[in-house]
């Protein structure tokens, strides 16, 4: 779902406070959200919604996922000066945050493409509290895969489940309890366990915290039709090595929890 | 204000979805939030509140602002396994996010201290939408200065105000309109304008986007009692140079918008 | 996610109004939620949460999904009389609503079991606005399958998508756009189209608004590994006929939008 | 009050999830909400508000309470295709739910009219949590009486009040404590107690769980000006018998808690 | 309904801001809410709820509606010093506001009792936005009558309705449209119109903006069983004159919109 | 920040209830908000927003802070009759409440001006819960000073801090802990302590609960550049005496917690 009115109200409220004097400016103005560095843009719907909440008209000149260059305007607004100024900081913050994620994702995808035409770069559930939807869509805008959106989207059989029930039993346990609409992924920490998980019915096997060589070995043991994912502290530099293992998906928490913001400025008049 | 029940409810809700099966585990468990790298911790009140919302008991073993080492537990919980597991991801995400900001702030403060005993490292309004309070308190936990908390906290006379009214008139204009409880800061882009701003009654002068040499010149022209701030794309590497200029405050948007998350894991049983 | 404090607050608020006099009764009381007819219980967590919000202690004596008989107590509470009385109507309403869905689901599952050991009875997105989670969990408590929890959980390729892009192109279009974590189901209105959909990569084929004979024909044409679902105005009476077709899933909107409430009374003292 | 923005946001949010791909369709479309069976329509304001929240224009071609036939359109919309599709399911769900209640109410009113020109068919507080207003207005649209809207609207003296204070004292107790603006109704379980309740000052007497013969006896004993209500598991089939007793109001929980949804489809293009 | 968690969260949030330093005090403390002037207390449940939200224990030593004297403690709290201090201002504000209304109501009731044993002093819908429930209960705590709680509680036939439909038609119009549970009051501006309204079926007649002599004339013309209300800018000084007219109810907007706060202080340690 | 949609929704909801019949009037109407007494207007943005929430057009003919006379219209609306009527009471209530505060503030400012050209009349944190922003802006509209907006806006060193740490230490303690953006005020109860507080670095000294003569003595002891405030039960009558002491600020809780509402009526057609 797009950002809600309630979210925007919270965002504006925490920035404006009870009595803001500096924005009490009469008249109308135009404004442009301008990139200060090269990157890939996202969060335009959220940034637009902030202005629109205050009755300011918005026109976007690029789309989420477009590469932009320093100096390029991504959004133009027209409205009462006081409302343009009130929305400015929040709009810049959300666009910068989302575009930072998208830019970082794009870099990871590009790094993967040097080695593999098909491997997916995916996000994780390591998102900033309150911004799950914005950040997942930013990953997708960068050419990435959203991965599971929330705990109800896909079952992940974790090491503690396996420790308690055994791998095969754990897979069966969850298969029986989830909808046919839900995929089941199994997290393993040894290459051979991937094969067992696939045999037990896993749709996807996650090789967690393994070096590329072990991942490759695990992938080779998997039957056709079972997807393989690598995860665990993988950095931008590691991407080609993991991409070369034959995995289908490389997931990286850093896409959402550690991407630096993309720098934008807002220029009025 | 500490994080609200409403915020926690939103954070949990966006992560759990409508029907999460993997956490339906009977019994009780203990769990520990453990650092995976060295850093400075923050966000413990928010992380604790997430567990407590679900009826899980929490004990913290360190305080916001404490330096922690890889392997160190910062939080211990006891409660129904299903509720511990439900809270886990959100708690890790918020603690990692806040601690990342605190760690980055601490680094900047330490860098400044190599040159100056007193210069403050301050945050900005470039925070992640929805997390203003959490992030401002994380900056403070790292030895930083919160800077203005929202638009109503302090007046910032900006270049567009100066362009429209002239520097002296703009300062006077806002002085008349804000409370005696509110300070007035003036943003200038030339060293000599700082003196004019101080003369017009500015409590603080912000030298924006100026090289250290110009900032130093500006600072020297200021009368006693007027504070000087430097800002504008200042990186960790730049901090000592700006600290050496004699400014009172160095503010850095990157503390909140671009600090990588601090890595934590959550271990049950 | 369990029902939120916010939901409970809304539920109580709409029933209590601004000044309720009849519940201003001093002292403490006990109360029991008692079934007035045979059925299968659900919604106990929601009903409990209503009492607990007002500080009333709750003990449940059965679990969601248990068959209960007329006269059987499912929940016992102890607390201030005024708070027990304030929570009563809302708790009865939500338990009756959820249990009605669970009971109806159980009947459908039992009807299906007379013919097939494995066919799933599934809910749909035809739920009561505001109660998606409660109703989906009630379907599961009755032995049913939740089906997709929301639009982001699974892709459903609909007739309008097919009309616009063609069947194969539509499947490919969405395959490229959704996560590896997300299944793709295709809705078809002719038996032979199921085979095409499977060939194009559908995980599940939905035979919509077809008589059992056509569904059976469609199922027989499907390759191994592709699931088949039947849907479209299927009543309790129709269930065995559809179950006999060999489909994997029978989904019924009536489970959630038209199940009569299960009758409960609340007895104090 | 009409449905609030907050409610609509909740309804959409629970159906859309974090990243819905299937509705990402460019262009504009028209759509019609079409009845698939005969009935009486309601909930048009709520269904319209869902579309309007997303910026889709709505025109209604019938009014709440109108009889509609299978194939008849009740609502026509025009807007961006993606927004029309996003609103569709929620709008159908709320219109179907409300219209089901209205249709069931109309049937009960019609059954009563075969015997009595004046007896009212009333709803109860047995409504679906979160939908009190929508459901009460649906009962009224079907020719029914809303009965008390919440606990603060009218005092109902219940058996537990009578057990504790005695009938006459209980009535006097509440008379003293409620506003002149509030009516007082007394629930009795024996025909003769109605007369006592009226004598004590009850505005309305509720004959609860009594057979029609006893209700008739109770009604005959009442003085002029005191209204009589019958309640307690009364079904559509029972309505004429109760209507013949001379009661003024027949209230039925099943109108709101067990009415099957009225079947609608939504057709685009 | 009592004040909600959501309300308390809003109240605290607007007073605390993002980073409050002055309350960061370690340890535990006790505190007492002490009256600084004589009056009648109310709002104790709301004030208590503010402390309890932050985990502070509360004991009340008087009840809403009790007369209190300067120096008397009405509430004692024990808890972490920082939480006691955080809640203090909000708790004092709500208790002072509610008690001011109760005290003013008590004065009006006492003034009326010098002339009449039975006339009710009632509030109106002229309440402070956001505090309808708190203020209505404060009026009742002062011995007053809540009057209609909201527009759905009782029908008020206003001059514009009469102008449009004629008095008798307007009464009949609304009688047909509202529940049997709802009373109908008619506002008249001439003494003789009261009799017409009663004849048309009004439960209550409101003599609006009439001097006491006209009200008395209107009251004398009313049949038995029809209540009479006087309203329209009636001050505390006017109360005895209106009470002597024989009206049943005197309603005063000033009880809620213009009562000065009752002065409380909060003393810790 | 202006009033939020959420606030307006709450305000309307508490006044309308679940099923309001009296406003179901077809057609369009105009309406005017008209003053019934002389005063100073405020709250126009809030009143306008209530109408606009329901789709009614608003034109304001005066501005917040303007003096208005009995009979003068401040707001004109055009829209569907039912929506104009629904918004009416809430809009009148908020405008009356805010204007009452503004009018009272204006009186206090005018009283101060008879003696001093510069002394500020300031509000306090003694505001009505839920209306901090509306009331602070109303004080400013009346020519007053908002004083600190929330606890995070300015530090107030209180008697309990001084008791615990000593005056000088307490000032230093908080100076170290708050941002350079935040002023520090110290509350003293003896004239000579003001000088000590100023010496310790207080920006402002608050002379609390002192007679004018003591305040004057305290003010005379203060160094240049330290502001002086008088507070503590100061009434309108006391204002000139305090204004004559030379203090910079006189703060009065009564401006917000005890100002009677300004009387408005709403006239349609």
Structure token digits, residue B85? 């597991």
**What is the DSSP secondary-structure string of E57-86?**
EEEESS-TT-EE-TT-EEEEEEEEHHHHHH
* Interval F180-199 mean pLDDT: 97
pLDDT at F23 over 90: no
A4 — contact with chain F (CB < 8 Å)? no
Residue of chain A minimizing CA distance to F141: A19
List, in sequence order, every residue forming a beta bridge with C193; answer none if it has no partner: none
List, in sequence order, every residue forming a beta bridge with D79; answer none if it has no partner: D29
Structure token digits, residue D142? 């079907």
pLDDT above 90 covers what percent of chain C?
94
B126 is catalytic: yes
Instruction: Give whole-number Cα distances, E135 to C21, E43, E100, F113, in Å.
Output: 15, 9, 10, 36
* Interval F219-229 mean pLDDT: 97
pLDDT at E35 over 80: yes
C25 pLDDT tier (thresholds 50, 70, 90): confident
**Dist CA A200 CA A203 (whole Å):** 9
pLDDT in tens, E42-55: 999 999 999 999 99
Residue D179 to residue E248, Cβ atoms within 8 A: no
DSSP E178: S
Q: C-alpha angle F67/F133/F56, rounded to 5°?
A: 70
* Interval B206-220 mean pLDDT: 97
**Dist CA F228 CA F241 (whole Å):** 15
Residue A17 to residue E17, Cβ atoms within 8 A: yes
pLDDT in tens, A128-165: 999 999 999 999 999 999 999 999 999 999 988 998 89
User: What count of CB pairs under 8 Å joins B to F?
Assistant: 63
D2 pLDDT tier (thresholds 50, 70, 90): confident
> How many angstroms away from the CA of F14 is the closest CA of chain C?
8
Are B252 and B122 in contact, with CB atoms under 8 Å apart? yes
State the sign of the Cα–Cα–Cα–Cα dihedral F242, F244, F245, F247.
Answer: positive
Structure token digits, residue C100? 């009605």
Four-point Cα dihedral C243, C247, C253, C256, nearest 10: 70
pLDDT in tens, D202-241: 999 999 999 999 999 999 999 999 999 999 999 999 999 9
Residue of F2, F140, F144, F181 to mutate when probing chain B, most B C-beta within 10 A: F181
pLDDT at C1 over 80: no
Residue D17 to residue B17, Cβ atoms within 8 A: yes
Residue A18 to residue F140, Cβ atoms within 8 A: no
B4 — contact with chain E (CB < 8 Å)? yes
Structure token digits, residue D3? 């449905």
Per-residue model confidence (pLDDT) at position D160: 85
**What is the DSSP secondary-structure string of C233-259?**
S--GGGHHHHHTTT-SEEE-THHHHSP
Are E226 and E196 in contact, with CB atoms under 8 Å apart? no
Are C43 and C88 in contact, with CB atoms under 8 Å apart? no
Are C120 and C250 in contact, with CB atoms under 8 Å apart? yes
- Taking phi first (over 0 means left), then psi (-120 to 50 degrees means alpha), and beta for anything else, what does residue C145 get? beta
**Dist CA C234 CA C249 (whole Å):** 12
pLDDT at A1 over 80: no
Q: Which helix (H) or strand (E) holds C14?
A: helix C5-16
**Dist CA C24 CA C20 (whole Å):** 8
Instruction: Compute how many other C-beta atoms are within 10 angstroms of the C-beta atom of residue F70.
Output: 11
**Dist CA E112 CA F229 (whole Å):** 43
Contacts of residue F237, Cβ cutoff 8 Å, sequence gap at least 6? none
Taking the CA atoms of chain D, what radius of gyration do you get in angstroms? 22
Instruction: Give whole-number Cα distances, E176 to D140, D143, E180, in Å.
Output: 11, 11, 9
pLDDT in tens, E89-111: 999 999 999 999 999 999 999 99
E4 — contact with chain B (CB < 8 Å)? no
Instruction: Compute how many other C-beta atoms are within 10 angstroms of the C-beta atom of residue D61.
Output: 14
Instruction: Give whole-number Cα distances, D48 to C102, D25, D30, D76, F81, in Å.
Output: 31, 21, 14, 9, 19
Of A117, B22, D23, A204, give the one whose Cα is nearest residue C181: A204
pLDDT in tens, F119-158: 999 999 999 999 999 999 999 999 999 999 999 999 999 9
DSSP C77: E
Largest CA distance in chain D: 69
Of B203, B120, B122, B208, give the one whose Cα is nearest residue B158: B208
C24 — contact with chain E (CB < 8 Å)? no
Predicted TM-score (pTM) of this structure:
0.97
Q: Which helix (H) or strand (E) holds D167?
A: helix D167-177
Are D165 and E189 in contact, with CB atoms under 8 Å apart? no
**Dist CA E1 CA C16 (whole Å):** 5
Q: Mean of the per-residue pLDDT values for chain A?
A: 96
Per-residue model confidence (pLDDT) at position A250: 98
A235 — contact with chain B (CB < 8 Å)? no
Structure token digits, residue B56? 């899980």
Residue of chain D minimizing CA distance to A141: D19
**What is the DSSP secondary-structure string of E232-249?**
SS--TTTHHHHHTTT-SE
Phi, psi angles (nearest 5°) of residue A87: -85, -20
Residue of chain B minimizing CA distance to D17: B17
Chains with ≥3 CB–CB distances under 8 Å to F: A, B, C, D, E
E1 pLDDT tier (thresholds 50, 70, 90): confident
> How many angstroms away from the CA of F206 is the closest CA of chain C?
41
Per-residue model confidence (pLDDT) at position A25: 86
Structure-token match 């986007």, residue found = B209
E147 pLDDT tier (thresholds 50, 70, 90): very high
Instruction: Compute how many other C-beta atoms are within 10 angstroms of the C-beta atom of residue D28.
Output: 12
Residue F19 to residue D150, Cβ atoms within 8 A: no
**Dist CA D257 CA E162 (whole Å):** 38
Residue of F8, F11, F17, F90 to mutate when probing chain D, most D C-beta within 10 A: F17
A240 pLDDT tier (thresholds 50, 70, 90): very high
pLDDT in tens, F28-48: 999 999 999 999 999 999 999
Structure token digits, residue C104? 């109806």
Residue C149 to residue B6, Cβ atoms within 8 A: no
Are F171 and F186 in contact, with CB atoms under 8 Å apart? yes
Are F31 and F52 in contact, with CB atoms under 8 Å apart? no
The count of C-alpha atoms lying within 13 angstroms of the C-alpha of B60, restricted to the half-sphere facing its C-beta, is: 19
Residues on chain F touching C14 (C-beta within 8 angstroms): 18
C258 pLDDT tier (thresholds 50, 70, 90): very high
Q: Three-class SS of residue C220?
A: helix
Residue E181 to residue D248, Cβ atoms within 8 A: no
Structure token digits, residue B202? 């500015």
Instruction: Give whole-number Cα distances, D189 to C22, D235, D244, in Å.
Output: 19, 19, 19
Q: Three-class SS of residue B187?
A: strand
Q: Three-class SS of residue D65?
A: coil
Residues on chain E touching A18 (C-beta within 8 angstroms): 14
DSSP F74: E
pLDDT above 90 covers what percent of chain D?
94
B155 pLDDT tier (thresholds 50, 70, 90): very high
**Dist CA B73 CA D131 (whole Å):** 46
């Amino acid at each position: 779902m797009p950002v809600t009115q309630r979210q925007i109200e919270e965002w504006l409220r925490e920035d404006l406070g009870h009595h803001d004097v500096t924005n009490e400016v009469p008249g109308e103005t135009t404004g442009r959200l301008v990139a200060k560095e090269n990157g890939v843009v996202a969060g335009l719907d959220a940034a637009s919604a902030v202005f629109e909440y205050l009755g300011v008209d918005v026109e976007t000149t690029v789309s989420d996922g477009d590469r932009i260059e320093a100096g390029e305007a991504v959004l133009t607004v027209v409205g009462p000066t006081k409302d343009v100024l009130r929305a400015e900081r929040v709009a810049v913050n959300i666009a910068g945050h989302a575009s930072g994620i998208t830019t970082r994702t794009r870099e990871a995808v590009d790094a993967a493409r040097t080695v593999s035409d098909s491997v997916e770069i995916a996000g994780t559930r390591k998102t900033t509290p309150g911004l799950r939807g914005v950040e997942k869509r930013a990953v997708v805008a960068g050419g990435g895969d959203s991965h599971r959106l929330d705990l109800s989207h896909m079952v992940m059989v974790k090491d503690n489940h396996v420790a308690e029930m055994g791998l095969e039993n754990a897979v069966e346990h969850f298969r029986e309890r989830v909808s046919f609409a839900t995929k089941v992924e199994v997290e393993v920490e040894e290459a051979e366990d991937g094969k067992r998980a696939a045999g037990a019915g896993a749709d996807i096997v996650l090789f967690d915290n393994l070096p590329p060589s072990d991942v490759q070995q695990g992938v080779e043991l998997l039957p056709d039709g079972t997807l393989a994912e690598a995860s665990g502290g993988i950095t931008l530099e590691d991407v080609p090595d993991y991409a070369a293992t034959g995995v289908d998906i490389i997931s990286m928490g850093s896409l959402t929890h550690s991407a630096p913001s993309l720098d934008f400025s807002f220029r009025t008049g």
